[in-house]
Amino acid sequence: MGRGLKIAINIFITLALGYLIFMPFHLGNRAGKKLCGEIVVEITDSSDYRFVTEQRILNMVNKRSDSVLGYPVKSISTDEIEKEIIKIHEIKTVNAWFDIDGVLKITIDQRNPIMRVIPDSGGDYLVDEDGVLFKRSTGVPPRLHIVGGNIRITNDMLKGMSVLDTSLAWSSLQDIYELVEFINDDEFWSAQIDQIYVNKENEIELVPRTGSHVIKLGDIDDYTTKFDKLMLFYEQVMPETGWNKYSEISLEYTNQVVCKRRL
């Protein structure tokens, strides 16, 4: 390799390294001077639960004390925007960033509730698939299994700790979560069971959509076997007696179903 070629290669390498070092600073400086000209909000699961709307998020961003639209990108804190939006209980995650054209993009993932909780002590909550309990801030409640009765809501739950967290003080809601997951995963029981009630003795009672009876499940122990017994009862007995003959069907006893006739 000739000396001239070596010099040319060294110059090329030097220029390439200089470009790689200089361009990020140059592009960053240009991006920082660019003005925010548009806000784009994407709510990833808006068709399932319309807890928040695009317009609500736009209103929150535009009402900030430090303006956004028409202001330099470098003067706008996307971290602060995220912190403000995540205060909405129904939102699980939020990401805000600027693209190279100065467009503020906000992507939101809503919580996916699996049950609605209305304790006797008061309140109206939702519990999502991660076991996080939260209050609705707006809108019509989604159609979910309703859990009521003797449900203790702890301060840790209200602060965002999952009911599944092993360090959380015991609450009947932990057992109910497991039960609701089981019901939701079964097509028949998901359609049949409407409400779940916990009485003062922490015994579980189920209110079905079909039939005017109450199902006494008792404790959570061996609940899958209890549902198997109930299914056999529905299949073998109900066609003969009708769905309204009994006011109560108890699954609390081993290997038997105990019924109370309607008066």
What integer best gives the mean pLDDT of the chain? 86
Q: Is the pLDDT of residue 25 over 50?
A: no
CA distances from 131 to 87, 105, 161, 190 (A): 18, 29, 8, 19
pLDDT at 248 over 80: yes
Do 228 and 206 sit in the same domain of this protein?
Answer: yes
Judge whether 32 lies within some domain.
no
Q: Are 92 and 85 in contact (CB under 8 A)?
A: no
Residue 88 and residue 184 share a domain: no
Are 100 and 127 part of one and the same domain? no
Same domain, 92 and 193: no
Residue 103: give the domain boundaries.
38-110
Q: What is the CATH number of the domain that holds 91?
A: 3.10.20.310
Confidence category of residue 106, pLDDT binned at 50, 70, 90: very high
Q: CA-to-CA distance for 104 and 74, rounded, in angstroms?
A: 12
| pLDDT of residue 22 exceeding 70 | no
Same domain? 231 vs 178: yes
Provide the pLDDT for residue 181. Answer: 95
* Model confidence at 212: pLDDT above 90: no
pLDDT tens-digit readout, 34-85: 998 899 999 986 556 778 889 999 998 988 756 788 889 998 999 999 999 9
Q: Which pLDDT score, from 0 to 100, does residue 63 have? A: 82
- Give the number of other Cβ atoms within 10 Å of residue 25's Cβ: 9
Dig out the tokens for 63 from the structure: 């009402």
Shared domain check, 84 and 150: no
Of the residues 90, 110, 130, the one at which a domain ends: 110
Counted domains in the chain: 2
Note whether residue 29 is domain-resident: no
Residues 71 and 189 in one domain: no
How does residue 247 score in pLDDT terms, banded at 50, 70 and 90? very high
Do 151 and 178 belong to one domain? yes
In this structure, are 55 and 154 located in the same domain?
A: no
| 151 and 256 both lie in a single domain | yes
What pLDDT is attached to residue 27?
46
Cβ pair 149, 116 in contact under 8 A:
no
**Final residue of a domain: which of 86, 110, 134?**
110
CA–CA gap between residue 205 and residue 226 (Å, rounded)? 12
Please give the C-alpha separations between residue 182 and each of 176, 189, 223, in angstroms, as whole numbers.
Answer: 10, 9, 9
Residue 19 has pLDDT above 70, yes or no: no
The neighbouring-strand residues paired with 135 are: 125
Same domain, 125 and 137: yes
Q: What pLDDT is stored for residue 102 in this prediction?
A: 93
Predicted pLDDT at 12:
57
Nearest Cα residue to 131 out of 157, 152, 153: 157
Angstrom distance (rounded) from CA 50 to CA 44: 11
pLDDT on residue 24: 47
pLDDT band at 219 (very low <50, low <70, confident <90, very high): very high
pLDDT of 26 reads 42
Q: Which of 110, 131, 164 is the last residue of a domain?
A: 110
Q: Which two tokens stand for residue 14?
A: 């030097």
90-94 long-range CB contacts below 8 Å, 24 or more apart? 90/49, 90/51, 90/52, 90/126, 90/134, 90/136, 90/137, 91/51, 91/52, 92/128, 92/130
Distance of alpha carbon 252 from alpha carbon 100, whole angstroms: 64
Q: Would you say 149 and 198 are in contact if contact means Cβ atoms under 8 Å apart? A: yes
Which tens digits make up the pLDDT trace of 141-181? 778 999 999 999 989 999 889 999 988 878 889 899 999 99
Looking at the structure, tell me whether residues 92 and 166 fall in a common domain.
no
Task: Judge whether 12 lies within some domain.
Answer: no
Q: Which residues contact 14 (CB under 8 A, 6 or more apart)?
A: none
Percent of residues, the chain, with pLDDT higher than 90: 59
pLDDT computed for residue 49 by the predictor: 72
Say if residues 68 and 134 touch (Cβ distance below 8 Å): no
